[in-house]
Structure 1
């Protein structure tokens, strides 16, 4: 099976490297110095599960350079989804199955606007990984899980084949009979963690230990559950309580990628996280005051560190 990984950052780089190390035919799409480093020295993954270095079958600068694929894993930032979807059309029309491992609940809607609906499967991943330097991905902790499947529980040969390859590579993976629910379950936690750590500018240990910020974390997640249920997703009404209890088990130093992006002056995925919850809430008539407040508070940083106007 030919696997293409669009976006060789923390998520795509990690899972792609594991698959390549286990013998899968993997093509990476990368950019800039990261692309050059992988071409010259291979891709290195540093992980508590073991360090590895792979020389992928191919690493290319553009989707158009992919010479055929059976499965495409999309792992770019959410604002690049529309552009990537347009470029993937020839591969999808040639039979490739597309699985997004991105955050958010709107990603597959964007993909299906440009690709045959049957070619898009749902996917979600659980991992903390980032590019430490060009050609090097660092995996934080031992969590490295992928969940994917067809919408409506549809069976998929490519999904079954990817599952086999992932398990062979030592990746915790599973097929979901209700992938939409799985995506929303992660979304509840992800929006809560991202909103609270970024708005408060502190890791989860501080957030959960203070009554005010703990309430913010909980209410943000509760609003996501209400929006999901209003959209017909089979979320348990008390799922926010479950996720708050889960937050109490996390390392106190844990933060979010959005918090990290804020601290480094990078663009934020705000519009696809709390911003999306607020927008969907308005469409569905569900109140989301906490997520709206977070979106408004962080709005000046959405495109990166704001410039201070001159007097």
Structure 2
């Protein structure tokens, strides 16, 4: 299978490397010093599941990737529309784009640019980052992809990508209701990102303090309520089960948004807690906890020269 990775960070870099190791043709789209390092030295992957040093095809312009079957779309949420525009020359009548981003609006945002029929849905579960240009570091044992079609005509391509992932020994699942899967991840991610970013503490500190735990549950429950109001089939006991899952996470676990905040980088909050507050407002609901979190993070949304501490 021919695959392009749009956004060669922790998600795209890791899964793209595994697919290339299995013999699939992969083009990595990157920019800046990261691109230069990939072109000069290749991609270095450090992972508990196995290290790799790969000579890769790395390009800046998507058109230079050549014809591909699937685009693994893994850019930060603020770059979604601009990255989608760059993909236009690459996405032909037989090309499908699978966004593996945070949030629950990527299918619609990409579809508006590239055409709804070209975009599936996907969710990645991995802790990975660019440690330095050309180097991807994966921490922990989790490295999972869940994806699925949103239109019947996409089913064959989804099945082919599943086969490619399994050949690469990636823990991958083809799901029937990708919208529900995205919202399940969203309920968890919004709460983790909101509480750790606003407190500047890892999840272990958040869940063990009664007041911070209250905020964790409140942001989670609001997100669940908005999803249910929008017709997503989230189970009645989903908040309780998700809290139990959080209790089993490593004490020092930090979502990527807290890492971005600490580094003085841009934040995805407008598409996480900010999106929950916006969607709630559109439904005539109130999501006070998420709105408060988004307000508290607003001074940092576009990055800060002074790192948060």
TM-score, shorter chain, exceeding 0.5: yes
Secondary structure (helix, strand or coil) at the match of 1:237 reads coil
Equivalent residue, structure 2, for 1:37: 37
Q: Is the 8 A contact 1:123 1:148 kept in 2?
A: yes
CA distance in 2, matches of 1:249, 1:153: 37
Q: Is the 8 A contact 2:218 2:289 kept in 1?
A: yes
CA distance in 2, matches of 1:142, 1:251: 12
Equivalent residue, structure 2, for 1:270: 269
CA distance in 2, matches of 1:73, 1:155: 15
Structure 1 unmatched runs, 5+: none
Question: What TM-score comes out, normalization by structure 2 length?
Answer: 0.96
Q: How many Å apart are 1:274 and its aligned residue?
A: 0.2
Q: How many Å apart are 1:91 and its aligned residue?
A: 2.8
CA distance in 2, matches of 1:21, 1:38: 16
What's the C-alpha RMSD, in Å, of the aligned pairs? Answer: 1.4
Secondary structure (helix, strand or coil) at the match of 2:120 reads strand
User: Equivalences for 1:214-253 in 2 at 5 Å?
Assistant: 214-253=213-252
The answer to which of 123-132 and 147-156 deviates more is 147-156
Equivalent residue, structure 1, for 2:279: 280
Equivalent residue, structure 1, for 2:26: 26
User: Equivalences for 1:126-165 in 2 at 5 Å?
Assistant: 126-151=125-150, 156-165=155-164
Equivalent residue, structure 1, for 2:200: 201
Q: Is the 8 A contact 2:21 2:168 kept in 1?
A: yes
Q: Is the 8 A contact 2:62 2:89 kept in 1?
A: no
CA distance in 2, matches of 1:216, 1:306: 28
- Per-residue CA distance 1:183-234 (angstroms, 9 max, x = gap): 0000000000000000011001100100000010011000000000111111
CA distance in 2, matches of 1:12, 1:120: 17
The answer to which of 179-188 and 150-159 deviates more is 150-159
User: Equivalences for 1:43-82 in 2 at 5 Å?
Assistant: 43-56=43-56, 58-82=57-81
Q: How many Å apart are 1:81 and its aligned residue?
A: 0.5
Secondary structure (helix, strand or coil) at the match of 2:90 reads helix
Q: Is the 8 A contact 1:199 1:294 kept in 2?
A: yes
Q: How many Å apart are 1:92 and its aligned residue?
A: 2.6
CA distance in 2, matches of 1:107, 1:221: 20
Q: Is the 8 A contact 2:62 2:90 kept in 1?
A: no
CA distance in 2, matches of 1:62, 1:90: 10
User: Equivalences for 1:248-263 in 2 at 5 Å?
Assistant: 248-263=247-262
Question: What TM-score comes out, normalization by structure 1 length?
Answer: 0.96
Q: Is the 8 A contact 1:226 1:286 kept in 2?
A: no
User: Equivalences for 1:89-168 in 2 at 5 Å?
Assistant: 89-151=88-150, 156-168=155-167
